[in-house]
Structure 1
Amino acid sequence: MARRLVVKVTCGAEAPERLSQALTVAATAVASGVETSLWLTGDAVWLGVTGRVPDLALAHSTPLADLVEAVLAGGQVTVCTQCAVRRGIAEGDLAPGARIAGAATFLAEALSDDTQALVY
């Protein structure tokens, strides 16, 4: 049975290298055929909103918009319910393919059989 990957991102543009690393891992997993779920929490939730992916211009890194697009195309992107509400983000604000879900859904994914969870 194939393993699945859950990547949880807990930072935004204030931690550009950590943010870029998390998205690079998620996009690489998708490109490798791994079932991938990207969870956005804290200020990372803005990555799930249409037109809000920051351009960090981080040297030697793929642009965040390209990484998010890759995960949206082949994986699942989830915005934390509480984090979205605190920032006034609704389902209609999200990029096509992204969703809003909470802790119960995260736990169900992260604790399922043959799943590896990483938190950045």
Structure 2
Amino acid sequence: MRKLVVKVTAGAEDAERCNQGFTVAAAAVAAGAEVSLWLTGEAAWYAVPGHAEEFHLPHATPLPDLLRVVREAGTVTVCSQCAARRHLTESALTPGIRIAGAAAFTEEILADGVQALVY
């Protein structure tokens, strides 16, 4: 099975798109795929403790549950520019979530056998 890189670019302002990215990432983990979840734009806030709990979408798995599944079996990264614009440092993030930039994202998605999705 190939690696899946999912980039979520939206937050509560586009709740269905945001939730879809998290749902696909968690479903891929459950299917046994290696998953890397990138949080950009307003989705970067969900790396901060307590923020995912504020997200609500009817008939959707709670965002904290989806994020936990991906964190436990894959990697979660916040875009460095997005973090800087929001004054977020790694110490402000949920343990195990990192900050990295476009070079790291590009390296991940250009590796052999990787599928990348952007929501």
Whole-Å separation in 2 of the counterparts to 1:99 and 1:83: 12
Secondary structure (helix, strand or coil) at the match of 1:7 reads: strand
Per the alignment, residue 109 of structure 1 pairs with 108
TM-score (norm 2): 0.96
In the alignment, what sits opposite 2:64? 65
- Counterpart secondary structure, 1:15: helix
Matches within 5 A, 1:70-81: 70-81=69-80
Off by >3 Å, runs of 4+ in structure 1 = none
Match of 1:50 in 2: 49
> Between Structure 1 and Structure 2, how many residues are aligned?
119
Quick one: distance in 1 between partners of 2:55 and 2:4? 25
Query: Alpha-carbon deviation of 1:54?
Result: 4.3
Q: Residue in 2 aligned with 1:17? A: 16
Percent identity over the alignment? 58
**Per the alignment, in what secondary structure is the counterpart of residue 27 of structure 1?**
helix
Structure 1: stretches of 5+ with no match in the other structure: none
The 8 Å contact of residues 55 and 63 in structure 1, kept in 2 or not, is answered as: no
- Write 1 or 2 for the structure with the bigger share of helix: 2
